[in-house]
Amino acid sequence: MIRSKLIWLTCLALLPAAAGIHAQEPIKKFRVKSVVFEGNISFSDKKLKRLMLTRPYNFFPRFYYYPEVLEDDLKNLVMFYQQNGYL
């Protein structure tokens, strides 16, 4: 009887620690409100936005901000300008 109570108390004592191992903080998602280009003369904003995966939030589909995707978008824009004769 004492042994079963001891086991029960041990399990209760370890429960919060075990719960902490599996608990994860919620991931915050940020919606992209707008994409603004400054100083572009040769290409329209619409054309440049089509080259990007990061897009302004519309009702459907919902686009969220991911730093890695934005970094790739910027690289794609640089490559696009280089392919069209710009440094």
Report the distance separating Cα 68 and Cα 82, nearest Å. 21
Task: Specify whether the CB–CB gap between 32 and 56 falls below 8 A.
Answer: yes
pTM recorded for the entire structure: 0.62
Q: Are 30 and 64 in contact (CB under 8 A)?
A: yes
Q: Which residue has the tokens 């978008």?
A: 73
Neighbouring C-beta atoms of residue 73, cutoff 10 Å:
19
How is the chain split into domains, by residue range? 26-87
Q: What is the pLDDT along the chain (87 residues), one digit of tens a residue?
A: 444 443 443 444 444 444 455 556 667 788 888 889 999 899 999 999 999 998 887 776 677 889 999 999 999 999 999 999 997
Domain 26-87 CATH class label: alpha beta
